[in-house]
Chain A
Amino acid sequence: AQSVTQLGSHVSVSEGALVLLRCNYSSSVPPYLFWYVQYPNQGLQLLLKYTTGATLVKGINGFEAEFKKSETSFHLTKPSAHMSDAAEYFCAVTQNSGNTPLVFGKGTRLSVIA
């Protein structure tokens, strides 16, 4: 079975500061890993994903994440937070075989302070 743990249900950063959202996963098979963002009253938007190959993945809006197999982590970072980054962020995992659904973490709410 697969699972995702997001450390910190709420993260608050100042505008211009580094954003770090933590995600650890558990998977008995090679995982595919995802970060989604959900703005208030909106649907899910894919930020980035790791499947195979380069472990540092760049996504939209200046976000990136690094897959670290030894640490079973897939933390999301952005060098400089913007007010528009305030949203709920979900880390998700699926396995790389067959049509399997995503397993989501509980989410982290990012607040950006002016």
Chain B
Amino acid sequence: SAVISQKPSRDICQRGTSLTIQCQVDSQVTMMFWYRQQPGQSLTLIATANQGSEATYESGFVIDKFPISRPNLTFSTLTVSNMSPEDSSIYLCSVAGDSPETQYFGPGTRLLVL
């Protein structure tokens, strides 16, 4: 199994600012995924981050707004840029295990934008 930690666990930010969320995994993984869960909603995939290549973004998400770094096989960051209240969500990091039947989720970062 994989243990995932995220920092910060929660934050309150002012509109127009940016926040970088860190995701650390206790083992090397190929693929990492970033999801957003808006209040009262389900999880929506933001992007897939593969080490050594540019992240692949889902429809409706762009790199300028959600830049992602993946410097090695155990770490990734997601930045929420130029935040607005609509960005208030839980942001979750996820990794795929050795087989596609196994996915692990971090505890999430709860973001409130005022």
Contacts and interface: CB of A to CB of B under 8 A. Distances in A.
B107 A43 contact: yes
Contact of A32 (B33, B43, B100, B107): B100
B: contact size bracket: 20 to 34
Interface stretch (A13-21, A59-67, A75-83, A99-107): A99-107
A95 B103 CA distance: 12
A43 B105 contact: yes
Contacts of B107: 42-43
A101 B45 contact: yes
A94 interface: yes
A43 B45 CA distance: 16
B43 A95 contact: no
Nearest to A98: B100
Contacts of B20: none
A72 B108 CA distance: 31
Main secondary structure of the interface of A (DSSP, over half): loop
A70 interface: no
Interface in B72-111: 92, 94, 96, 100-101, 103, 105-108
A74 interface: no
A96 B100 contact: yes
B89 to A, nearest CB: 14
A101 B48 contact: yes
A44 B92 contact: yes
B31 interface: yes
B53 interface: no
A94 B30 CA distance: 17
Contacts of A90: 42-43
Given A43-B107, A106-B42, A101 B101 contact: no
Given A43-B92, A43-B108, A101-B33, A32 B42 contact: no
Interface of B: 30-31, 33, 35, 41-45, 48, 92, 94, 96, 100-101, 103, 105-108
Given A43-B107, A99-B100, 4 more contacts: A51-B101, A94-B100, A101-B33, A104-B44
